[in-house]
Chain A
Amino acid sequence: MARRDDYGQEQQDQQRFVVRILLALVLLAAVLLLIGWRLSGLQVGAHSHFTTLSENNRLRVEPIAPSRGVIRDRNGQLLAGNRASYQLEVTVEQAGDLDELLERLHDFVELSEADVERFRRGVRQRRPFQPVLLKAGLDDTTVARIAVSRHELPGVEIEARPMRFYPLGKEFSHVVGYVGRINQQDLARVDPRAYAGSSHIGKIGIERYYEDLLHGRPGYRQVEVNAQGRVIRELSVTPPEPGTDLTLTIDADLQRAAYRSLAGREGAIVALDPNNGEVLALVSAPGFDPEMFVRGISQADFSDLQSDPSRPLFNRALTGQYPPGSTIKPLVGLAALDEGITTADRRMFARGYFQIPGHERRYRDWRREGHGWVDMSRAIAVSSDVYFYDLAHTMGIDRMVPMLGAFGIGQRVGIDATGERAGILPSRDWKRATHDQVWFPGETLITAIGQGYMLSTPMQMADFTATLAGRGQRIQPRLLQSMDNGNGELERLLPQPREPVHTAPEHWDTIHESLIEAVHARHGTAWGSIGSRPPTNYRIAGKTGTSQVFGLGQDEEYDEDELPRHLWDHALFVGYAPADDPQIAVAVLVEHGGSGGRVAAPVAREVMDAFLKGDAGMTLDVSEDE
């Protein structure tokens, strides 16, 4: 009986269990369907969405820096090129303790605080597994020592990267310029994507002005990375487009000769070809080693350069503004002739000073005793101040300014380099606008001898000298002669004419003759330095200038021996040669050099000699024939 009960109980129990199991199976099926529904949503419904995310995860596009275009002079001499430079890089993920590593590296390579600071900044900003630069420009010995000890230096890599170099160095530092590390300001003015793979960018000079051409276009490679950002393999590559190679109008040999002719003095020389506006030399002395900036200049070196009294970082040729002094007289004379104020033949007796009728003040000539009887030509040759005071007083500032403006005074030349300034062409309007004062008659007088408010850059002076040489023909000066069109052919730029200066041909003759007289006549201001020992094969037309840095009192004498050097006059000379078929127009400035005739004129003569007689002249002819 009990057995039957047990058996019945057992059967009932089993049935109940089966019911529960079936329930559980239904529930399990429901759960599996829910999971299946979820999975189909992920794998079928949102498949493309997740595929995109997965691809974004694993794929990375890395830029490849283009190789920068090289810069050559007109004869093919390399001015800026690229060469492999060894640099020390650290992959932080593999390096272990950074402080300890840096400590050990000190035994191999000199690390400045700036290096370490830049490195630490790079470490914070890097992507995973991206090597960070520690030191650039390693020498061979250091490279070898580190290579031998690499097993002790985990994560340390020596990488060869293209680095800008300037084989001709400091003589070309201002005109060619340099590249430096890209900073925030640089990134603000360029498309950051184009520079994603680049470390350097043009900072000044040609390097900066033609940055767009020189830089090229970056390429890209698509790589597969893992979750740590380490590159697993390369999937595709778009090669970069290299930058354009540039050929400058500069003649490297002439540039070096010009720099040498300054003989360590501070100054600037600009030489132009008046026929086509090509800049043959653009010198600012002293220069500096541009490669310091490529490597990354240290704070100490930079402040040394900045506090150097000779101001090597200052581009005197383009940024420097100086009173043009007597070099402006040919322009003033031309204005007077053009305006009919005077004629070439009208003579006046030039005493040692000039007084505005009814005024006390004496405007003195640089020569105490005056120059005696002078006409226009002789006045320019002897550089009579009184003659031009008289002319200016009759003409008035308003009739003088248009001619000076036509020669480009007070306007940027528009040279294709950085840092150029406009100078000052003073006028009634200018004075009212800047000083809120009326124009005084006496200011007209000193403007006529290139003093007072008037300022001009050596570039401007060379430009107006070229205009004189071209008898009013004005061609835009430029530094770029041709660019490589990518097929190895040079694409030459055409000369760009500007608005010419119009006046009667006989006026040009008068000025031209007077400039020859200034150099080659016994009474000319450049007789002593040039005319007495003239070049055998050509004549020079030119004008000296001695521009005052500070104003002398009514009865004071200028005496170099009693003045501190920084108050000495600037020595100036502008000229062109050969006088009858001008091939070169030169402006020379020797800062605080003293007399233009004694100091600046010989410098110009050397430059012209180098160009017209020397090898430079020969090679120029060859390239012109092509």
Chain B
Amino acid sequence: MISVTGREMPLGQWLLGRLRLDGVLLVLIGILLLVGLAVLFSASGESMIALERQTMRIGLGVAAMVMVAQIPVRTLRSLAPWLFVAGIALLLAVMVAGEIGKGARRWLDLGFMRFQPSEIMKLAVPMMVAWYLSTRNDRPRFRDLLVTVPLILVPVFLIMRQPDLGTAMLVGAAGFLVIFLAGLSWRWFVGLGLAAAAAIPALWLQMHDYQRQRVLTLFNPESDPLGAGYHIIQSKIAIGSGGLYGKGWLNGTQSHLDFLPERSTDFIFAVYAEEFGFIGVALLLLLYFAIVARGLWISALAQDRFARLLGGSLALTFAVYMAVNIAMVTGLLPVVGVPLPLVSYGGTSLVTLMVAFGILMSIASQKRLVNR
């Protein structure tokens, strides 16, 4: 084993090594979280209460990240099937005994807290698929698809039934990204793509009315300016009126005068865009790109197939997360209910994301250990 003692290294680097954390990723995430707190303070109408609660959640998330970072990758690998099975069981439990909120059955009341089992699946599905594919030696073949596609689609279907289109999409993306990164032949992706296209009518029939409304509104938000189209119209007004330089922090009229709905959660990007303008938005996109790139860099240097696939999938899912939210807020995609990662108010997605970064850090330190 490698000894750190006797080597000259700054205290910070030593501490990061001890805590098995990746310095670059930590700094990037830290900047994003601070930007998020600033925007949230503005979006919540300068509410100190919201700021304190979100800070506490961030603290919880950081703690979770640090803890998960301590778990060796091989332990994570051996946990994967059990986590997956537990997740499926919880999803079934939600179907039977879940709490209903805002017309959807997503929460499970454990007595002391409520949580969404679907969040577990954001991690459990890529872990499970990565686990399975890491037991195979070569790139995935057809029979591997026979195993992995159901592994992905069963939880996706269960989550869609809750209904929670956004989470279902992210879980599905996480799973398929693993298959993609494992090197599945292009032909299969073309095939899957065509199958997905063919599935759209079936999917349409599966959707709830409010989901269909969201899709229809996307194509013509002005058709229902006071109803379903209101969100997207006000969001575009907020973003567009921000201009190149923005109206300045705390000066966004769309958000401060309540015109923008869901402004601390799903639509917080519009608040940011209104107050910081196109330049601020470009910098934010760059920050996200840097975080994803760092995650992929860590994964590229990972020492085994499971770590590589899982790390890559988690980093890219984070990118999908961000891209879907911004596309939704800018009116490029239907409003599916995906928060802006690490910025939107709310604890569940934040903690899950921080756990994912913990996994990436665990992978990063695995690399270091083996290299040295």
Contact = CB atoms under 8 A, between A and B. Distances in A.
Given A44-B278, A54-B237, A224-B257, A20 B289 contact: no
Nearest to A50: B240
Nearest to B180: A20
Given A17-B181, A58-B257, A43 B277 contact: yes
Nearest to B274: A54
Contact of A50 (B237, B259, B327): B237
B175 interface: no
B316 interface: yes
A618 interface: no
A14 interface: yes
Nearest to A40: B278
Kindly name the residue among A9, A34, A42 whose own CB sees the greatest number of chain B CB atoms within 10 A.
A42
B237 A24 contact: no
Interface stretch (B194-202, B210-218, B241-249): B241-249
B137 A226 contact: no
Contacts of A34: 332
Nearest to A18: B300
Contacts of A51: 240-241, 243
A96 interface: no
B285 interface: yes
B368 interface: no
Interface stretch (A25-33, A333-341, A465-473, A588-596): A25-33
Given A25-B296, A28-B292, A39-B330, A53 B242 contact: no
A4 interface: no
A13 B134 CA distance: 11
Contact of A13 (B234, B281, B289, B305): B305
A35 B269 CA distance: 12
A24 B316 contact: yes
Interface in B314-342: 316, 319, 323, 326-327, 330, 332
B39 interface: no
Contact of A35 (B244, B256, B305, B327): B327
Interface string B291-325: 01100100110001100110010001001000100
Nearest to B235: A42
A49 B285 CA distance: 24
A47 interface: yes
Contacts of B27: none
A40 B244 CA distance: 8
A20 B254 CA distance: 41
Interface in A199-232: 224-228, 232
B70 interface: no
Nearest to A15: B183
Nearest to A56: B237
Contacts of B304: 10
**Chain A's interface: helix, strand, loop or mixed, by majority?**
helix
A46 B257 contact: no
Contacts of A17: 181-183, 299-300, 308-309, 312
B10 to A, nearest CB: 30
B282 interface: yes
Nearest to A24: B316
Of B181, B237, B256, most A-chain CB atoms within 10 Å: B237
Contacts of B265: none
Given A14-B308, A21-B296, A54 B241 contact: yes
Nearest to B252: A54
A225 B138 CA distance: 64
Nearest to A46: B240
Contacts of A492: none
Interface in B250-286: 253-254, 256-259, 273, 277-278, 281-282, 285
A39 B239 contact: yes
A623 B257 CA distance: 60
Contacts of B236: 42, 50
A39 B279 CA distance: 10
Contacts, number: 131
A54 B278 contact: no
Contacts of A121: none
Interface residues of B, number: 49
Nearest to A21: B296
B121 interface: no
A437 interface: no
Contact of A36 (B277, B282, B305, B316): B282
A531 B138 CA distance: 137
Nearest to A23: B180
A47 B285 contact: no
Nearest to B233: A53
A35 B240 contact: no
B208 interface: no
Given A46-B240, A47-B244, A35 B326 contact: yes
Contacts of A53: 237, 240-241
A43 B240 contact: yes
Nearest to A9: B137
A137 B289 CA distance: 67
Given A21-B296, A224-B257, A42 B330 contact: yes
Contact of A21 (B137, B181, B241, B330): B181
Contacts of A58: 253-254, 257, 259
Contacts of A232: 257
Nearest to B247: A54
B237 A43 contact: no
Contacts of B234: 57
Contacts of A18: 300
Interface in B174-200: 177, 180-183
Nearest to A38: B330
A232 B323 CA distance: 35
A28 B324 CA distance: 12
Interface in A53-75: 53-54, 57-58
Given A28-B292, A32-B285, A44-B278, A21 B312 contact: yes
A128 B258 CA distance: 14
29 contacts: A16-B183, A17-B299, A17-B308, A20-B180, A20-B183, A21-B181, A21-B299, A21-B312, A25-B293, A28-B316, A29-B289, A31-B323, A35-B323, A40-B278, A42-B239, A42-B330, A43-B281, A44-B278, A46-B240, A47-B240, A47-B244, A49-B240, A50-B236, A53-B237, A57-B253, A57-B257, A58-B259, A224-B253, A232-B257
Given A10-B304, A43-B243, A224-B253, 4 more contacts: A43-B240, A57-B257, A58-B253, A232-B257
What 7 A-B pairs have minimum CB-CB distances, sorted nearest first?
A: A50-B240, A54-B241, A227-B258, A226-B257, A16-B183, A43-B278, A42-B240
